[in-house]
Structure 1
Amino acid sequence: MKAAVIIYPGSNCDRDCKIALERSVDAHVSMVWHKETSLPEGLDLIVLPGGFSYGDYLRCGAMAALSPVTRAVVDAAKSGVPVLGICNGFQVLCETGLLPGALLRNASLKYVCKPVALEVTNAATPFTRAFGNRSEAVMTVGNGEGNYFAEDAVLDELEQENRVAFRYKEEINGSLRRIAGIVDPTGRILGMMPHPDRAFEAELGSADGALVFQSLLEAA
């Protein structure tokens, strides 16, 4: 697998994603700085990592969505390259319009960082196939603005089209319908607040996150 991890000023999980990809699927990973205007050719995956891009000024992901490299990411996504946005990356995907909705302040108004139990709501996407018949997973969240919001019509559409990939098993941050991750209509763009890059080996408390990356090998 050939992957690219995008680095914005304030990204802090870029190296985590690189290591997770290398150890989970033996990927060749390029690290791409936000000022780049193009991406490596022949990519099998683009990752927008977690962190605090541009210090979360204005609102999370808003400035990163206007970065030069993000234009290349949007073009690549529209051409069919799979894109995974984790935490801040999910926020960026929503800001670009590649995914619907927005991530608001957690209902508690507190930063939440802990392992969470998830429902694997759709195991048929390119990012979830390796879960097979498994309906549950454990990964870690670490965010202050992970509260997924969308209008009722959008939420209904996500449900009807089976585009909710992951759902919190319990109330975590106020996310409507306990949504933890969604895909676009093609299934090739996934945004999720939990971190698979922090749960890819048993020593980290869970290896379930590795299945997100391994799913892409099955989908290839």
Structure 2
Amino acid sequence: MDKEKYSNYMSPNTSFSFEKYAQMPVVGIIRGYDLETVKWIADSYQACGFFTLEITMNTAGATEIISALVKDYPEMNIGAGTVCNLKDYQNARDAGAQFIVTPIIDEAVIKAAVADKLPIFPGAYTPSEIYKAWSFGAMAVKIFPATQLGVSFIKDIKGPLKQIKVLPTGGVALENIRSFFEVGVYGVGMGSSLFPKNLIGLKDTAGLKEHFLAIKAELKG
């Protein structure tokens, strides 16, 4: 990240903790769970050394969940995902979201976040889209969906676009997470592979913590 861009996001007005993110550069994506369940997940998530959670805006009660998490988990980075337009962005910002994630490139949303000094990870797929998102001021670019592209694509684009920080999302799992970091990603986004529905459905706290720790161990090597 160039110094000017980085200093913008390091403003005293930015509540995103880069230190916590650096400790565990994984964005956990939560979609479709109610506040009680999200808090249950967050307790184990934080206890296992994960600090960055994204609540998608197409989750029922997303803004209320974001506000509650920001209040109750001050050691965590709580953000909003699936932000597709300025209305979504404004609702997320007003709820207290500490970072923004989009599945697409929306210039107005990216520039609004940059102006508000809110870290933003916009979604992009092709090299042209990735470069465009970065040039608009993104803190890092979410490569989405990474399922079809894989690690080799990330390695290839890091050649000519080595200055761009990327965050592959979709297809990252316990089995391959280390390989993404080996080619120099800024972080990864993980949804169902990080939050298995069977463990959550059973409220299996021990199983969920074991799963989180296995991913942490694989990442840390």
TM-score (norm 2): 0.34
Higher relative strand content: 1
Larger Rg: 2
TM-score (norm 1): 0.34
Higher fraction of helix = 2
